[in-house]
Chain A
């Protein structure tokens, strides 16, 4: 049984999705999704423990030996991502039922869980597969199901947002598959490890350069790297609350994983860092995201949209790790995948509770809401501190590694820019805090009360995690450091 665990990561959610589609009833579908999410969390934790203990696991799908068959490969980095995705899913699911009943029509609820499970399968698949084309398939599974989830949002603009994302996402996926095609034509292989070893034979020829370009741009679209982020704010703002929390925590993170995989494991430091200006490009774009998107976030009226822009900015921190391309810098980027995931998921869940109670999340409607929902709003403040990155929160750990990475290189200006950008988050979070605590209660909030317990517990678990992982980094930064070692084999 134990050796079949990698396959289960993908098979269980796919089967679950089929069951949900057949049964349709919202409540039953929810139970299935809940069971699947919890099982997957256990499976992924087992996988990660095994990897940390005995080294990478290679699993031949259908017993077809790699590189001919599809290889599932779990190392410290992919194991980290698997745990991240499945645990976020497992924490969010208990919350989902109440929120979904409120936001999605009865006849569509079954479909929502179907799409959620397909998306989960796709995301886990991308993280676990060692095959470039298989990754494309999973990318499409997760993307298509995401479009459908977004379109289920009750605001009519959700349709437009989903459509916008569909166009952008398809362009990205197409670019990715063009890049994979070029790689295949030059190396004759689709297995990532195999491609990497064969690339040594092929000089950095023009097709390889083109492949790097296509894959980088294609995946960057999916991970919403500035300025390819335009689909994201609308998609997050209009999707159902549960979907937003899940996608914000996982979807862009998996795309970052794919990018890391290609840049460092496949093409390698020799080509990407030394031969091409990739790190310089990422440096500029990351900084643009950190500052540009944060400034835009300050002026948002809709808090969900504000947090969406904040996500674009936080992705800038993650890609900054790529730009630093050092052990410390990459550790910072990778650990921020997890730290940002839990913090942002917590914030979106708390906002979901606001939507559940007052039906909107405009800043004017939320005025004075702390009087009615003190626990929710208190948790919002704490999670907000995590976004700002005050010490004692998970966000601080990421910032610490990134700034250390910058100073190790002697880039003191970059260290200053990193900390300066967090000042912008003080402004956009502080602005909300002032309104919800100090303004007189808005009309919309008059009948509000604390969120129900089944919503509160998952949200508070994530908020607690934000604090906990600001002190104990055994399961975040230490694993991220090992993942960075996987990506930079030569580094100390």
Chain B
């Protein structure tokens, strides 16, 4: 099979799975089989592209032109490859986990749930492989729309309100800021196709570069730069597998991925650093990291704490990009992968605590590590990766980001990273300590429970293992990240 067909197949597999899921709605076991096998097939397809990309090829395919000059086209470049791998790999474990969670909690409307999941994955792959801004935007919006029913899955007032915030902020920023930025790029340069070194030309007008950077940075609301991060905590009303999808697999990753992609392939790292207009982004990202960490420190609801941790971790990627050193961009790309496996572990753990023990607050978790050793063990690994302690994936990406900051002598960035590491430790370590070393509370410990359902435990153990494996075997993601900056 040619690489071109393989790209189309990657998009088609989750889309076809969506249709099959709808057809199998009467037979839950068959329906779940469809989801799982589609996830495996998708990973195989994405892996099929890996060798070509590592060998330096850039397989691409153009579907058709919508308006002259504006085509729906796909090109697999290293960053998209990395993101595609992360998304398709995690879809497998997430599906496994979803099955356990949805059945364990007797959730209603499971068929639409899995269907929306399929569409969301298809659009994530579309974002990852997009060859131009228009294709990126198209799938970015489909991703927002297809995850809205997932966020509002519970269909109560709280879910509807959260969904409203989610939709209005994401759709709003993308339509009001991102779309004009794309059209402006198109009118200025006459092209929208991503190209190595950027498409803005040799010496673009700094004022335009500054304005475009602002529009892109805030237009991509999924990257959750403050002050447009509110949708992320609001979306916490969703069931936990959806939170995992939002935080690890698809949505926020599509946001930071788009920012890195646009900085590298639309602006060009060199062009942007010469124009000297990206300084503010570093401070905004740094501010987001610190403020979100402080909010997380104070949050008692576990999922809320994780949500603000995500806001802060996303800004690591943006910060690393804004440093504009090639080595820090490697760190940014690595962090997309590292944060994905670690954060999904944390959410899986939160979800299995909810499923097994019906607990949601940090203050209720005293001694739970003894009843749920696997879950809390995985949680600990994920948390260590968030802090950046070896041997976890988070250490690697942080290392590269720090190197970039030091090489370019951006001491503010160095300071922010160190300060936030301390804050991360401050809001994660007490949870681990309480879970393993504190005695269970008398008043909340009356409920007897063991581990969560088996599929959930398998899933979270797998991602925890992945977090550690990524530290010892980072060859593939690292190679892709380095190819991104031409290393």
Contacts and interface: CB of A to CB of B under 8 A. Distances in A.
Given A385-B145, A397-B67, A422-B175, A404 B186 contact: yes
Contacts of B137: 391
Interface stretch (A64-72, A451-459, A471-479): A471-479
Nearest to A440: B155
A199 interface: no
Interface in B166-203: 167-168, 171-172, 175-176, 179-180, 183-184, 186-187
Given A403-B179, A423-B176, A390 B67 contact: no
A438 B160 contact: yes
B66 A397 contact: yes
Contacts of A437: 155
B153 to A, nearest CB: 11
Given A392-B141, A392-B142, A438-B152, A415 B183 contact: yes
A426 interface: yes
Contacts of A419: 175-176, 179-180
Contacts of B370: none
Interface in B150-165: 152, 155, 159-160, 163-164
B478 to A, nearest CB: 34
Nearest to B63: A471
A392 B64 CA distance: 13
B183 A390 contact: no
B72 A471 contact: yes
Contact of B164 (A388, A390, A412, A434): A434
Contacts of A430: 164, 167-168
B183 to A, nearest CB: 5
A136 interface: no
A471 B180 contact: no
B176 A420 contact: yes
B138 interface: yes
Interface string A387-427: 01111100001011101100110001001100110110011
Contacts of A415: 180, 183-184
A389 B186 CA distance: 19
Given A392-B138, A438-B152, A404 B187 contact: yes
Interface string A427-450: 100100010011000000000000
Given A397-B67, A434-B160, A473-B66, A390 B176 contact: no
B183 A400 contact: yes
Nearest to A422: B175
Contacts of A403: 179-180, 183
B447 to A, nearest CB: 31
Where chain B touches its partner, the secondary structure class is: helix
Give the residue among A385, A403, A472 with the most B Cβ atoms within 10 A.
A403
Contacts of A392: 138, 141-142
B188 to A, nearest CB: 8
Interface in A76-128: none
Interface in B50-70: 64, 66-67, 70
B66 A426 contact: no
A51 to B, nearest CB: 21
A166 to B, nearest CB: 39
B151 to A, nearest CB: 12
A477 B67 contact: yes
Interface residues of B, number: 29
B321 to A, nearest CB: 25
Contact of A438 (B155, B172, B175): B155
B385 to A, nearest CB: 36
A407 B167 contact: no
B64 A471 contact: yes
Nearest to A481: B68
Contact of A426 (B134, B138, B172): B172
A412 B160 contact: no
A416 B164 CA distance: 22
A399 B70 CA distance: 14
A430 B176 CA distance: 17
A387 to B, nearest CB: 13
Interface string B447-459: 0000000000000
A470 B152 CA distance: 27
A408 B64 contact: no
A198 to B, nearest CB: 37
A404 B145 contact: no
Interface in B135-150: 137-138, 141-142, 145
A398 to B, nearest CB: 11
Nearest to A427: B168
A5 to B, nearest CB: 30
Contacts of A422: 175
Best-surrounded residue of A385, A392, A401, A470 (most CB of chain B within 10 A): A392
Interface string B29-48: 00000000000000000000
B280 to A, nearest CB: 19
A162 B134 CA distance: 45
A391 B164 CA distance: 20
Nearest to B175: A419
A472 B64 CA distance: 8
Contacts of B159: 438
Contacts of A434: 160, 163-164
A408 B187 CA distance: 6
A266 to B, nearest CB: 30
Nearest to A477: B67
Contacts of A416: 176, 180
Nearest to B179: A419
A415 B163 CA distance: 28
Contact of A407 (B164, B168, B183): B183
Contacts of B171: 388, 390, 423, 426
A423 B172 contact: yes
A400 B70 CA distance: 11
Interface in B64-99: 64, 66-67, 70, 72
Contacts of A397: 66-67
B67 A412 contact: no
A407 B175 CA distance: 15
Contacts of B141: 390-392
B372 to A, nearest CB: 34
Interface in B430-481: none
Given A390-B145, A403-B183, A415-B184, A426 B67 contact: no
Nearest to B187: A407
Contacts of B180: 403, 407, 412, 415-416, 419
Contacts of A472: 64, 66
Contacts of A400: 67, 70, 183
Nearest to B134: A391
B138 A391 contact: yes
Contacts of A423: 168, 171-172, 175-176
B14 to A, nearest CB: 17
B135 to A, nearest CB: 9
A422 B180 CA distance: 12
Interface in B273-317: none
Contacts of B175: 389-390, 419, 422-423, 426
Contacts of B184: 407, 412, 415
Contacts of A390: 141, 145, 171, 175
Contacts of B183: 400, 403-404, 407, 415
Interface string B106-137: 00000000000000000000000000001001
Q: What are the nearest 5 A-B pairs in CB distance?
A: A391-B138, A407-B187, A438-B160, A403-B183, A415-B180
17 contacts: A392-B141, A403-B180, A403-B183, A404-B187, A407-B187, A415-B183, A416-B176, A416-B180, A422-B175, A426-B168, A426-B172, A437-B155, A438-B155, A471-B64, A472-B66, A473-B66, A477-B67
Interface of A: 385, 388-392, 397, 399-401, 403-404, 407-408, 412, 415-416, 419-420, 422-423, 426-427, 430, 434, 437-438, 470-473, 477
Given A391-B134, A438-B152, 7 more contacts: A403-B179, A407-B187, A412-B180, A423-B172, A434-B160, A471-B64, A471-B72
